[in-house]
């Protein structure tokens, strides 16, 4: 059998896939040799394509593990196959584990600062918060307000490197000037989940 943990795993995050090979004959010996791992989806990478079995505390059983990192191919499911080649006493066998790959989690932080008396300069910063290979989110952020006002644009396009990206719009709140809540909503991309953040104007 083979199992991967954690499962689900975010794009670019690592999971450990363990193969357990069992001698099904009563009183059998622990299998020896190697197990080869493959995925039915391109773009991912294994820490090693194979591993060498080692006996454990359970009689007639041996196991080994490799690390697997899904590539930047969007969310979905992948089949991880572990193939045991057999040895002089044991036949070959294989098993599959269904791995669920999720979009990477994000947080959106919105800050608004008064500029030119009554105008508010509002900047949305979207950050990749999942473990593993974090990347800067791409796409657009939409803005809305709980009160009356005029945005310079209702959307802006993120720009950034590393683990976060940001964009800025200007907001002119109408009466009441203070107390309005402005919200920034990130729509996600092929790698990142959507998220939203808000702030209260002062």
Q: How many domains are there within the chain?
A: 2
Q: 24-28 long-range CB contacts below 8 Å, 24 or more apart? A: 24/60, 25/60, 27/59, 27/60, 28/59, 28/60
Last residue of a domain, one of 102, 134, 160: 102
For residue 176, give its domain range. Answer: 106-200
Instruction: Report the CATH number that the domain containing residue 68 is assigned in CATH.
Output: 2.60.40.10
Q: Is the peptide bond before 106 cis (omega within 30 degrees of 0)?
A: no
Position of tokens 């991912």?
Answer: 44
Is 154 buried (19+), middle (13-18) or exposed (0-12) by CB count in 10 A?
exposed
For residues 71 and 18, state if they share a domain: yes
Say whether both 166 and 85 belong to one domain.
Answer: no
Is there a single domain that holds both residue 98 and residue 138?
A: no
134 shares a domain with 56: no
Residue 36: how many CB atoms within 10 A of its CB?
A: 17
Q: How confident is the model at residue 73 (pLDDT cuts 50, 70, 90)?
A: confident
143-202 pLDDT tens trace: 999 999 999 999 999 999 999 999 999 999 987 666 899 999 999 999 999 999 999 998
* pLDDT value for 72: 76
Mark whether 193 and 110 lie in a shared domain: yes
What are the pLDDT digits (tens) for 109-118?
999 998 767 7
Check whether residue 183 and residue 94 sit in a common domain.
no
Residues 6+ away with beta carbon under 8 Å from 91: none
Of all residues in the chain, the percent with pLDDT exceeding 70 is 98
């Amino acid at each position: 059998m083979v199992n991967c943990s954690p499962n689900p795993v975010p794009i670019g995050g690592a999971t450990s896939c363990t193969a357990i090979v069992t001698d099904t004959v009563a009183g059998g010996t622990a299998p020896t040799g190697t197990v080869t791992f493959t995925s039915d989806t391109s773009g991912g990478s294994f820490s090693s394509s194979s591993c060498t079995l080692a006996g454990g505390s359970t009689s007639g059983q041996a196991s080994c593990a490799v690390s697997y990192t899904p590539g930047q191919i969007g969310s979905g499911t992948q089949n991880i196959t572990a193939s045991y080649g057999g040895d002089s006493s044991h036949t070959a066998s294989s098993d599959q584990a269904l791995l669920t790959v999720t979009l990477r989690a994000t947080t959106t932080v919105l800050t608004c600062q008064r500029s030119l008396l009554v105008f508010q300069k509002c900047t949305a910063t979207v950050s990749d918060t999942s473990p593993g290979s974090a990347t800067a989110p791409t796409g657009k952020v939409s803005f809305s307000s709980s009160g009356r006002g005029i945005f310079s644009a209702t959307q802006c396009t993120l720009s950034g490197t590393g683990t976060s990206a940001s964009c800025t719009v200007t907001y002119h709140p109408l009466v009441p000037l203070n107390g309005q809540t402005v919200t920034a909503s990130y729509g996600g991309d092929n790698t990142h989940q959507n998220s939203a953040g808000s702030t209260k104007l002062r």
